[in-house]
C-alpha cells in the first residue's frame, strides 16, 4: 500500500509514518517544515526504504498539481496548532487549515481513502457551557462559546474541515474518516504542550514550579496508541463517512497529579506554585470511546506513567534546554 502523509514531518505524522513503514507500506511525506522538523528522527526515516519526503506548501495549488495519484491512503495531518500560535495569529490558523483541506478535496480521487485529523476542541465550548457530558461522545452538539476568542479559531477551522470532508465524501463517493484526537502526547511533539512543558521546566530546575490549572482534568493518550487507532480505522470499512474519537479514557487525571508524576519521574522535588489556567482552557476533557471500540476493538495499552516516562526521557536526551 502507498500512503501519502500531508504534514507527515510533524508529531503524529512522523510516528504514523514509522508505523506504516514497519508494516511494509511505502510512505510519501509532504511538509513545508513550518512546524514539522527536519531533525535526526526524520533523517532516520528518510533513509528507510520506501520513504520519500517532499517539501511543499499545502496552501499553494502548485504543490497539489505536482503530486501524483494512486495512493491507498491519504492522511491530512497538517495544521497550525498550539495555543501560542493560535493566539498570536488566528487568521493564519483559519487560512492555512481551511485551504489545506479544500485544496485536498479538489485534488483527491474517489479511489484514494482519506483520513482527516480533527480535534476535541470542536466541542470544548459545549463542555464549558454545561451543554454536553464528559466523557463526551461524537454526537454531542458542537458549540463555539465565544467566536471572538482567538483560541477558538482552531476549533472553527477544524469544524469547517470536518464538514467539508464529510459532505464532499458523500457527494463524490469518497471514502473518508474524521478522527478527533484527544490530548495526544509523546516524544517529538514540540515544547508548547503540557507534558513536554512540564518535563522541560523540571529539567531546568524551576523552583517554585508553576502548575497551571491544577484542578483541570484531562485524559491523555500516548502517540503510539493514537497511531494504532488510526491504522485500525483506516482498515475498517464501517468507519467511513463518520467521526470517531481517538484517545485514552482509562486514566483521566488532573493537572496537579500530572505535574507530580512528571516531577517524580524527573526525581525533582520543588515547591509547587498553583497558577490559574490560561483563558479559554476547558475545565475537563475525556472522550467516550464506545464508537472506536465497537468499530475496531481498540484498547489503549500505554499507561500514563509509562507514557510520561518515555516522553520525559526523549526530552531529557534530545531537546535543548
Active site amino acids:
154
Burial letters 62-86, b for 16+ CB under 10 A, else e = ebbeebeeebebbbbbbbbbbbebb
CA–CA dist 114, 133 (Å, integer): 29
CA–CA dist 246, 99 (Å, integer): 24
Q: Which of 105, 89, 79 is nearest to 7 (CA)?
A: 79
CA–CA dist 213, 279 (Å, integer): 10
Give the sign of the dihedral formed by CA 296, CA 302, CA 303, CA 308.
negative
Q: Is residue 131 classed as helix, strand or coil in its secondary structure?
A: coil
The phi, psi pair for 71, rounded to 5°, reads: -90, 140
CA–CA dist 114, 71 (Å, integer): 10
Q: How many C-beta atoms lie closer than 10 Å to residue 21's C-beta?
A: 17
> Residue 107: is it exposed, middle or buried by C-beta count within 10 angstroms (0-12/13-18/19+)?
middle
What string of DSSP letters covers 169-234? HHHHT--EEEEEE-SEE-TTS-SSSHHHHHHHHHHTT-SSEEEETTT-EE--EEHHHHHHHHHHHH
Amino acid at each position: 500500500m502507498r500512503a501519502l502523509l500531508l504534514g507527515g514531518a510533524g508529531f503524529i505524522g512522523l510516528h504514523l509514518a514509522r508505523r506504516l513503514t514497519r508494516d511494509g507500506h511505502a510512505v510519501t511525506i509532504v511538509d513545508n517544515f513550518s512546524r514539522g522538523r527536519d531533525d535526526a528522527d526524520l533523517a532516520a526515516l528518510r533513509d528507510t526504504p520506501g520513504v520519500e519526503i517532499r517539501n511543499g506548501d499545502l496552501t499553494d495549488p502548485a504543490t497539489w498539481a505536482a503530486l501524483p495519484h494512486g495512493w491507498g491512503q491519504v492522511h491530512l495531518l497538517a495544521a497550525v496548532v498550539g495555543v501560542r500560535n493560535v493566539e498570536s495569529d488566528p487568521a493564519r490558523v483559519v487560512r492555512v487549515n481551511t485551504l489545506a483541506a479544500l485544496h485536498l478535496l479538489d485534488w483527491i480521487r474517489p479511489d484514494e481513502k482519506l483520513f482527516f485529523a480533527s480535534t476535541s476542541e470542536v466541542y470544548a465550548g459545549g463542555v464549558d457551557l454545561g451543554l454536553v457530558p464528559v466523557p463526551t461522545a461524537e454526537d454531542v452538539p458542537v458549540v463555539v462559546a465565544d467566536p471572538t476568542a482567538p483560541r477558538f479559531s482552531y476549533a472553527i477551522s477544524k469544524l469547517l474541515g470536518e464538514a467539508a470532508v464529510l459532505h464532499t465524501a458523500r457527494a463524490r463517493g469518497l471514502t473518508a474518516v474524521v478522527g478527533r484526537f484527544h490530548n495526544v502526547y509523546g516524544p517529538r511533539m514540540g515544547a508548547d504542550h503540557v507534558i513536554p512543558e512540564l518535563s522541560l521546566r523540571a529539567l531546568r530546575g524551576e523552583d517554585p514550579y508553576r502548575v497551571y490549572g491544577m484542578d483541570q482534568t484531562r485524559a491523555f493518550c500516548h502517540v503510539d496508541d493514537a497511531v494504532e487507532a488510526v491504522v485500525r480505522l483506516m482498515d475498517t470499512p464501517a468507519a467511513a463517512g463518520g467521526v470517531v474519537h481517538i484517545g485514552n479514557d482509562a486514566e483521566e487525571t488532573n493537572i496537579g497529579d500530572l505535574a507530580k508524576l512528571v516531577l517524580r519521574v524527573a526525581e525533582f522535588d520543588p515547591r509547587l506554585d498553583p497558577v490559574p489556567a490560561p483563558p479559554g482552557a476547558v475545565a475537563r476533557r475525556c472522550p467516550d470511546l464506545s464508537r472506536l471500540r465497537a468499530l475496531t476493538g481498540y484498547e489503549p495499552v500505554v499507561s500514563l506513567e509509562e507514557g510520561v516516562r518515555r516522553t520525559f526521557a526523549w526530552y531529557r536526551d534530545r531537546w535543548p534546554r
